[in-house]
Protein backbone atom coordinates (compact mmCIF):
# COMPACT_ATOMS: atom_id res chain seq x y z
CA UNK A 1 0.00 0.00 0.00
CA UNK A 2 1.27 3.35 -0.77
CA UNK A 3 0.69 6.44 1.22
CA UNK A 4 0.90 9.86 -0.33
CA UNK A 5 0.85 13.21 1.41
CA UNK A 6 0.53 16.36 -0.34
CA UNK A 7 0.87 19.68 1.41
CA UNK A 8 0.15 22.87 -0.48
CA UNK A 9 0.77 26.15 1.23
CA UNK A 10 -0.22 29.22 -0.73
CA UNK A 11 0.44 32.56 0.81
CA UNK A 12 -0.65 35.55 -1.18
CA UNK A 13 0.10 38.90 0.30
CA UNK A 14 -1.01 41.91 -1.68
CA UNK A 15 -0.18 45.20 -0.11
CA UNK A 16 -1.50 47.97 -2.20
CA UNK A 17 -1.10 51.47 -0.94
CA UNK A 18 -2.48 54.10 -3.21
CA UNK A 19 -2.22 57.64 -1.99
CA UNK A 20 -3.63 60.34 -4.15
CA UNK A 21 -3.27 63.83 -2.86
CA UNK A 22 -4.59 66.63 -4.97
CA UNK A 23 -4.38 70.09 -3.52
CA UNK A 24 -5.84 72.78 -5.67
CA UNK A 25 -5.68 76.35 -4.48
CA UNK A 26 -7.11 78.94 -6.79
CA UNK A 27 -6.71 82.56 -5.83
CA UNK A 28 -8.23 85.04 -8.19
CA UNK A 29 -7.71 88.67 -7.40
CA UNK A 30 -9.26 91.24 -9.63
CA UNK A 31 -8.41 94.84 -8.85
CA UNK A 32 -10.31 97.11 -11.12
CA UNK A 33 -9.72 100.81 -10.84
CA UNK A 34 -11.89 102.83 -13.16
CA UNK A 35 -11.35 106.55 -13.26
CA UNK A 36 -13.75 108.32 -15.54
CA UNK A 37 -13.19 111.98 -16.25
CA UNK A 38 -15.60 113.48 -18.72
CA UNK A 39 -13.88 115.09 -21.69
CA UNK A 40 -10.56 113.89 -20.34
CA UNK A 41 -8.79 110.60 -19.80
CA UNK A 42 -10.25 107.20 -18.97
CA UNK A 43 -7.79 104.91 -17.20
CA UNK A 44 -8.80 101.29 -16.76
CA UNK A 45 -6.37 99.16 -14.79
CA UNK A 46 -7.11 95.45 -14.47
CA UNK A 47 -4.63 93.42 -12.44
CA UNK A 48 -5.26 89.68 -12.49
CA UNK A 49 -3.11 87.42 -10.37
CA UNK A 50 -3.83 83.70 -10.67
CA UNK A 51 -1.92 81.29 -8.43
CA UNK A 52 -2.49 77.60 -9.10
CA UNK A 53 -0.71 75.07 -6.91
CA UNK A 54 -1.08 71.40 -7.84
CA UNK A 55 0.65 68.76 -5.73
CA UNK A 56 2.60 71.50 -3.97
CA UNK A 57 5.40 71.67 -6.50
CA UNK A 58 3.98 73.44 -9.48
CA UNK A 59 3.70 77.19 -9.27
CA UNK A 60 2.01 78.93 -12.11
CA UNK A 61 1.99 82.68 -11.83
CA UNK A 62 0.19 84.64 -14.45
CA UNK A 63 0.49 88.38 -14.11
CA UNK A 64 -1.68 90.09 -16.61
CA UNK A 65 -1.49 93.84 -16.78
CA UNK A 66 -3.89 95.38 -19.21
CA UNK A 67 -3.68 99.11 -19.63
CA UNK A 68 -6.36 100.67 -21.76
CA UNK A 69 -6.01 104.35 -22.37
CA UNK A 70 -8.82 105.96 -24.27
CA UNK A 71 -8.39 109.63 -24.92
CA UNK A 72 -11.68 110.94 -26.11
CA UNK A 73 -12.00 114.59 -26.82
CA UNK A 74 -15.52 115.56 -27.64
CA UNK A 75 -15.94 119.10 -28.77
CA UNK A 76 -19.48 120.15 -29.41
CA UNK A 77 -19.80 123.57 -30.86
CA UNK A 78 -23.32 124.69 -31.48
CA UNK A 79 -23.41 127.94 -33.30
CA UNK A 80 -26.87 129.22 -33.66
CA UNK A 81 -27.19 132.25 -35.82
CA UNK A 82 -30.48 133.91 -35.22
CA UNK A 83 -30.89 136.82 -37.53
CA UNK A 84 -33.54 139.06 -36.19
CA UNK A 85 -34.66 142.40 -37.31
CA UNK A 86 -33.21 144.72 -34.72
CA UNK A 87 -34.68 147.68 -36.50
CA UNK A 88 -38.11 146.24 -35.82
CA UNK A 89 -37.30 146.11 -32.09
CA UNK A 90 -36.05 149.66 -32.20
CA UNK A 91 -39.16 150.88 -33.99
CA UNK A 92 -41.42 148.99 -31.59
CA UNK A 93 -39.64 150.45 -28.55
CA UNK A 94 -39.74 153.94 -30.01
CA UNK A 95 -43.43 153.64 -30.83
CA UNK A 96 -44.16 152.19 -27.39
CA UNK A 97 -42.54 155.10 -25.60
CA UNK A 98 -43.73 157.67 -28.14
CA UNK A 99 -46.56 159.08 -25.93
CA UNK A 100 -44.02 159.94 -23.23
CA UNK A 101 -41.94 162.27 -25.39
CA UNK A 102 -44.10 165.23 -24.37
CA UNK A 103 -43.01 164.83 -20.75
CA UNK A 104 -39.31 165.30 -21.45
CA UNK A 105 -38.10 165.32 -25.03
CA UNK A 106 -34.43 165.21 -24.11
CA UNK A 107 -34.88 162.14 -21.90
CA UNK A 108 -36.87 160.42 -24.66
CA UNK A 109 -34.13 161.08 -27.24
CA UNK A 110 -31.40 159.85 -24.87
CA UNK A 111 -33.49 156.76 -24.12
CA UNK A 112 -33.93 156.01 -27.83
CA UNK A 113 -30.22 156.55 -28.48
CA UNK A 114 -29.31 154.14 -25.67
CA UNK A 115 -31.61 151.48 -27.14
CA UNK A 116 -30.17 152.18 -30.59
CA UNK A 117 -26.59 151.77 -29.36
CA UNK A 118 -27.51 148.65 -27.37
CA UNK A 119 -29.13 146.88 -30.29
CA UNK A 120 -26.87 147.99 -33.09
Give yes or no for a contact between 90 and 115, defined as CB atoms under 8 angstroms apart: yes
> Mind listing the pLDDT tens digit for each residue in 15-71?
666 666 666 666 666 666 655 555 545 555 556 655 554 454 545 555 555 555 555
Number of domains in the chain: 2
Tell me which residue range forms the domain holding 57: 24-71
In a domain, 60, yes or no: yes
pLDDT at position 40, please? 47
67 and 40 together in one domain: yes
Q: Is 16 among the domain residues? A: no
Predicted local distance difference test score (pLDDT) of residue 117: 64
30 and 67 in a single domain? The answer is yes
Note whether residue 9 is domain-resident: no
The 10s digit of each residue's pLDDT in 55-87 is: 545 455 555 555 555 555 555 555 555 555 555
Tally the C-alpha atoms within 13 A of residue 73's C-alpha that lie toward its C-beta.
2
Amino acid sequence: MSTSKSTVNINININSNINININININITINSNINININSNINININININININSNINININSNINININSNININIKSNINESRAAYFISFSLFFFPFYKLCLHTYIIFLLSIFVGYF
